[in-house]
Amino acid sequence: MSSPRAVWRRLSNQTLKGIGSAGQSFSYNRWRELTFFVRFLLAFKRLDPSERDRLLQDGWAFAEWLKVIPEEEKRQLRHMILFLLFPDQFERSFAGTDRRQIVISFTGKSNAEVDPLSPVEIDRELLGIRRSQEEKYGTKILDFYLPPLSELWTRSGLRMRSGPGQRTTAAYQT
């Protein structure tokens, strides 16, 4: 469970400015994201309180449970919810294309190997990449949308469209 200090840090002015930009797809599909959110809330509320508590203590169990929500694998809000609830296990990368590109760039896997991966499998890959990069750079304050990591997976190291790195001036630290 997070300490009160960790919770307050997540509510800092810097954090409340935003954790990223979901982009045009999120805006265009806002109704789908809202439908997913309502379905998520209803399904979560229907759970026994002890089951809700169990899921809120285990990010991976929570991610697996989300599979019961229709269209879970296509919704950016899925990634947002997981990041907000479990920032030490899940990335603030919400666009499916970015998430896959990060995995491809850091692992050397092909599109054909990455495309069939489920969102949870991508999440696990991203966490593994994060852990190896933390070891490589000797810090936990890393962000895939800021240098040095952004330079390793984006074209020429620059985000040409509105992306999470453009909304945040410092790496998110938990």
pLDDT bucket at 93, cuts 50 / 70 / 90:
confident
Question: What is the secondary structure of 94-129 as a DSSP string?
Answer: --HHHHHHHHHHHH---HHHHTT--HHHHHHHHHHH
Tokens encoding 172: 């998110």
Radius of gyration for the alpha carbons in the chain, expressed in angstroms and rounded: 16
pTM score of the predicted model: 0.76
pLDDT digits (tens, 9 = 90+) for 2-20: 666 666 666 666 665 666 6
For residue 142, give the H/E element and its range.
Answer: none
Q: Is 170 left (phi over 0), alpha (psi -120 to 50) or beta?
A: beta
Does 90 have pLDDT greater than 90?
Answer: yes
**Residue pointed to by tokens 């810097």:** 14
User: What is the domain partition of the chain in residue ranges?
Assistant: 4-167
Mean pLDDT lowest among 3-17, 21-35, 50-64, 89-103: 3-17
